[in-house]
Amino acid sequence: MTDVLLNAGRISLSNVNSQTWSVTISGFAIVFVVLAVLIVVFYVFGKIMTAVQGKSSEKQKSADNTASEPDEVTDEIAAVITAAVAESTGGKNFIIKQIKQSGGDK
């Protein structure tokens, strides 16, 4: 009885049939092929996301540049300009019709 148990614990390569080997090799092949496919998918996905982020950051930079240069003059800026003109004219009557930004200080 103990002889049967000891022999049952031993596995020799001659007892393993060809179907077992083909299943083992197929399993390893499938794992490595799927791993290679995942590597390619993540590489392509990374390139796509980098390109999308680059375009969105360019749009955001251009939006920030336009936001930092407002087209309209606020009431506070108009009041400061009016006070400066009043000071430089010596209190004479004047009318400010339009305030535009000059092209020199951009």
Q: Tell me the C-alpha to C-alpha distance, in Å, between residue 19 and each of 22, 23, 26, 28.
A: 5, 6, 10, 14
The pLDDT tens digits for 4-14 are: 555 555 656 66
Domain ranges in the chain? 16-89
pTM of the entire predicted model: 0.41
In a 10 Å sphere around its CB, with 0-12 CB exposed, 13-18 middle and 19+ buried, how is residue 86 labelled?
middle
The pLDDT tens digits for 32-53 are: 999 999 999 999 999 999 888 8
CB-CB contact of 81 with 96 (8 Å): yes
Distance (Å, whole) CA 38 – CA 41: 5
* Joined tokens for residue 93: 């009557």
